[in-house]
Amino acid sequence: MENKVSLVTGAAKGIGSAIALRLARDGYDVAINYHSRPQDAEKIKRTIESYGRRAMTVYADMASLTDIRVMYDEVLSAFGHVDLVVNNAGISSEVYFLDASEEDFDRMTAIDWKGLYFSSQAAARSMIDRNIKGVIINISSNQTEGCWPRATIYGPTKAAVSKFTKNAAMELSLYGIRMVAVAPGYTDVGWEKGDIRLEAASRLPFRRFATMDEIASLVSYAASDEAAYMTGNTILMDGGATLPVVAANDFV
């Protein structure tokens, strides 16, 4: 029996790398997409191979439809099929609404939304062609539920991802393909002690950020047969960050 194959975009670092490693431990062969960190991607590849799984690195700028198509051609040539795609690649540049430029808008929506859209399309077409009842998981954000400053591009882009997941899941159900979105909140992606962003942890209900492994575990579950009746959902995992009107924890 062939091993299941996964492709994780933006897998050279951060949450994407944790997802790639978790899927390898779950028994998947893994294609590791990267854009600007080939050495980090190679390190993830070697770790996955140490688990006894096959792995490959594959370059693509997720803002480029040409790159996306070449990426899928390379993965399918190497592995023959793909059972699971995790669309994780994204950028979250912060810019105030009144200062935002067309370049800011185009770059963020091209990677976080257009790239995810056409990666999903390529994944679904490959699954349908091979009669694979696969899974596509899109990484969204708790910004679909709450509002933060400097996020008038990023937040609506992630809202588009969650809405797209619903619509595409409805169409893909005809082929037995599931699509799910996972929406993390604050996640510790390896920021150094003293980073000002870490100060937000004290204002969260659990007073800490998610770990990358916790997000990877949720992706693992959503991809598994245990979640076989789940499609079209956006699963929020933000430690209750969007529960309070003002996350001050004064009631404790």
Q: Model confidence over 118-135: pLDDT tens digits? A: 999 999 999 999 999 999
Segment 223-233 shows an average pLDDT of 97
Q: Closest by alpha carbon to 236, among 141, 161, 136?
A: 141
Give yes or no: 154 in active site: yes
Per annotation, catalytic residue among 72, 117, 154, 186:
154
Q: Model confidence over 6-54: pLDDT tens digits? A: 999 999 999 999 999 999 999 999 999 999 999 999 999 999 999 999 9
User: Domains in the chain, please, with CATH?
Assistant: 5-237 (3.40.50.720)
Segment 207-212 shows an average pLDDT of 90
Compute how many other C-beta atoms are within 10 angstroms of the C-beta atom of residue 227.
Answer: 17
pTM for the predicted model, two decimal places: 0.93
Report CA torsion sign: 145, 150, 152, 156.
Answer: negative
Angle at 21 (CA atoms; ends 75, 9), nearest 5 degrees? 45
Mean of per-residue pLDDT scores for the chain: 92
Segment 126-154 shows an average pLDDT of 92
